[in-house]
């Protein structure tokens, strides 16, 4: 017997022949406490392009169809240059903490030690290291953390089998340091030193965040899926 006019939520069963079988981090975003902080250009290389209130960048994932050699399957593609064009950078309040988020695709079982087993970030400006990670009390050019099922449980967060999840750098640092999340030095800050590059309309500068991550779960066969040679490049513009 079927019910007419009643809609119930249903989780689609994962099928490796029709769904993207990739497991691991798939996107990175920058937000504030109440959502997006930045106005970004649709085309990060064109400061005259449409501006949107969004700062999310997907990682480049190479997908193989069932008909292709080695398919179906997926692996990381070329993530050396992932760009985000930020408008009106000259007006930015540099003491504003930014939440850096990682979105993860998970379609399988998670043991206590499964999840993101490594997260490392390094920030550079004009080819030199610049302090971007930390707290109001001070920043450093490096940040490191992890987000496993066991580590998330320590923060009161339950990662369930077969469900995607998202975590912040703040949470990842808290797990590694053993500090409460509110005290962890895992916020992201745009350094005020960018102002020497943004003196006049039309000026621009690139702030680079080098990212390394590893992910492991039952769906990866217990083998770590690494994200290497990845750079999130913020193109900061003096614009209207």
**pLDDT values of the chain reduced to their tens digit, one per residue, 240 residues:** 444 444 444 444 444 444 455 889 999 999 987 778 899 999 999 999 999 998 999 999 988 887 888 777 788 999 999 999 999 999 999 889 999 999 999 988 999 999 999 999 999 998 999 999 999 999 999 999 999 999 999 999 999 998 999 999 999 999 999 999 999 999 999 999 999 999 999 999 999 999 999 999 988 888 899 999 999 999 999 998
The answer as to whether 161 is a domain residue is yes
The answer as to whether 167 is a domain residue is yes
Confidence at residue 117, expressed as pLDDT on a 0 to 100 scale? 97
Strand partners, 52: 40
The answer as to whether 9 is a domain residue is no
Q: How many helices (H) and strands (E) does the chain have?
A: 2, 18
Give the range of the structural domain holding residue 107, as residue numbers without chain letter.
Answer: 24-237
The answer as to whether 4 is a domain residue is no
How many structural domains is the chain composed of?
1
The order of strands in the sheet holding 133-135 is 138-140, 133-135, 187-188
The answer as to whether 10 is a domain residue is no
Confidence at residue 68, expressed as pLDDT on a 0 to 100 scale? 81
The answer as to whether 5 is a domain residue is no
The answer as to whether 159 is a domain residue is yes
Confidence at residue 230, expressed as pLDDT on a 0 to 100 scale? 97
Confidence at residue 72, expressed as pLDDT on a 0 to 100 scale? 76
The answer as to whether 16 is a domain residue is no
What would the DSSP string read from start to end of 103-131?
Answer: EEE--S---TT-EEEEEEEEEEETTEE--
Please answer whether residues 173 and 185 qualify as being in contact, where contact means their C-beta atoms are separated by less than 8 angstroms. yes
């Amino acid at each position: 017997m079927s019910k007419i006019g009643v809609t119930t939520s249903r989780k689609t069963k994962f099928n490796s022949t029709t769904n993207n079988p990739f497991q691991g981090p798939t996107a990175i975003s920058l937000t504030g406490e109440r959502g997006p902080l930045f106005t970004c250009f649709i085309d990060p290389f064109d400061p005259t392009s449409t501006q949107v209130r969004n700062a999310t960048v997907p990682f480049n994932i190479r997908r193989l169809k069932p008909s292709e050699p080695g398919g179906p399957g997926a692996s990381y593609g070329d993530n050396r240059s992932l760009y985000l064009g930020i408008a009106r950078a000259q007006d930015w309040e540099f003491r504003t903490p930014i939440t850096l988020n990682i979105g993860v695709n998970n379609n399988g079982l998670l043991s206590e030690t499964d999840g993101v087993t490594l997260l490392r970030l390094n920030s550079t400006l004009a080819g030199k290291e610049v302090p971007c990670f930390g707290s109001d009390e001070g920043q450093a050019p490096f940040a490191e953390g992890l987000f496993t099922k066991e580590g998330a449980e320590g923060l009161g967060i339950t990662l369930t089998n077969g469900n995607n999840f998202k975590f912040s750098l703040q949470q990842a640092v808290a797990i590694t340091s053993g500090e409460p999340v509110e005290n962890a030095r895992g916020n992201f800050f745009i350094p005020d030193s960018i102002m020497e590059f943004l003196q006049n309309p039309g000026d621009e500068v690139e702030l680079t965040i080098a990212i390394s991550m590893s992910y492991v779960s039952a769906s990866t066969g217990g083998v770590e899926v690494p994200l290497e040679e990845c750079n999130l490049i913020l193109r900061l513009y003096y614009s209207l």
